[in-house]
Structure 1
């Protein structure tokens, strides 16, 4: 996995930049969770981002995926800083993109803490675009071993899949709190299922665009499954939305697995 290319000054700058970006993200996460005296994200913006704020908010347990993403991001920052990684083509192609996603991740948390809901929507949409571009780079530059697969592909894939779903939840929180009435009334089931269908198409598009990568599908399905739990056991309750979320979760994951199997069988030995 090492590269014989000559080290460039820019390579060391990239490694330092990635470490700095991940440190910023972790500090922002501590601020966002109230560890530095701020307010927890679930209580910000009048509670609009809490697990019971909208019909498409995942149950609280879903957010534990952030722990895995943060651990992987820290692991990537350490791994990419090794001398053997400095001049690798894949690191040169993806390193700064990962750094950008780390900064934007922290930026969303700060927007939630100090700004308003529209700014959180802008922040998470920009983050989603950056993650999509990052996974595109990784798709063009195939992994060269298990370390690439774990520290780069898994990290970015989980981040992308979760943020894709979180973007829908964030937009819904904004619309519910500030654009449409807080109660969706009789149309709640219809609009909730309609949005979930859109989420399903996004998941399928990600599977096609990433050649069946499982990490984005796993993260999206995880969040969708917890939307199903939240709507079936918590407030606001909606059995139709819960069922739809469960079905979409299964479809997104199965499509990714099917694409991966098809591509594996079509690849010559």
Structure 2
């Protein structure tokens, strides 16, 4: 892309907003982790956000993916602030949107700390929608020879963020519903969980299809599903059927884009 386009006043504003958004997100993340002696995210909302909060919550190690996502967003924010990126058309198309996703990311942590469980659901649904739109624009504006840095920091990081938040939205919503539905519904937990995971499979395949089979959303989604399976097999509440279904769904969402990605490496002409 032509990075020597005419400078606009909004370009500098965009760079500053992105840096401000990542700063807000990181401050919220540090507080959410309980670094200052406050209650950590998983222990807030009466423990509803913990790994045993619902039948669709992944095991604790799944959340380590946030470290990769946050690192990617930090590096992106620094990179986009360089003078050479100021007038880059792709930054103009995506900078504001990525800033929005980071702001919503931080707001979710604020909602978990100071708001209600249903508010966290509202915020994460908004985050998912923003990420979906951002990734769509990323795919539409991607050029074959845009460069490795551009590909990793925009397409890769946004794709991981989208894939993980897709599963996180399911887990967050399930945690909220678990607190409000009648206790008798637990007898149908396996059937409901399997049905939801089938929907997740369809969503994962839809994301892959609409993004020309980009693999990063599928990697993050399959990662979360795998740890969901681990938690259902070894943690509480246990559910072998949900765990087995999660493994199958992880394979279903990951294999098609992974195969296409390999074919693109072997045969660059593959669309």
TM category, shorter: over 0.9
Q: Kindly state the Cα deviation for residue 184 of structure 1 after the two structures are TM-superposed.
A: 4.2
Q: Kindly state the Cα deviation for residue 215 of structure 1 after the two structures are TM-superposed.
A: 0.7
In 2: Cα distance, 1:206 partner to 1:245 partner: 18
1:36 maps to which residue?
36
Q: Kindly state the Cα deviation for residue 225 of structure 1 after the two structures are TM-superposed.
A: 0.2
2:223 maps to which residue?
222
Q: Is 1:120 aligned to residue 120 of structure 2?
A: yes
- Structure 1 residues not aligned, in runs of 5+: none
Matches for 1:17-56 after TM superposition, within 5 Å: 17-56=17-56
Q: Which runs of 4+ in 1 moved over 2 A?
A: 181-186, 257-269
Q: Kindly state the Cα deviation for residue 256 of structure 1 after the two structures are TM-superposed.
A: 1.7
Matches for 1:162-241 after TM superposition, within 5 Å: 162-178=164-180, 180-182=181-183, 184-241=185-242
Number of aligned pairs? 268
Q: Is 1:83 aligned to residue 83 of structure 2?
A: yes
Change (3 A) 1:262 1:60: same
2:105 maps to which residue?
105
Specify the SS of the correspondent of 1:228. Answer: helix
Change (3 A) 1:187 1:268: closer
Pairwise CA RMSD: 1.8
1:166-225 deviations in Å (ceiling 9; x for gaps): 0000110000012x1357432111111111001000100000111111110000000000
Specify the SS of the correspondent of 1:200. Answer: helix
Q: Kindly state the Cα deviation for residue 263 of structure 1 after the two structures are TM-superposed.
A: 7.2
Retained in 1: the 8 A contact 2:263–2:270? no
1:101-144 deviations in Å (ceiling 9; x for gaps): 00000000100100001100000000000001100111110140
Change (3 A) 1:165 1:268: closer
In 2: Cα distance, 1:32 partner to 1:182 partner: 30
- Structure 2 residues not aligned, in runs of 5+: none
2:142 maps to which residue?
142
Retained in 2: the 8 A contact 1:176–1:183? no
In 1: Cα distance, 2:98 partner to 2:183 partner: 36
TM-score normalised to structure 2 length: 0.94
Retained in 2: the 8 A contact 1:211–1:260? no
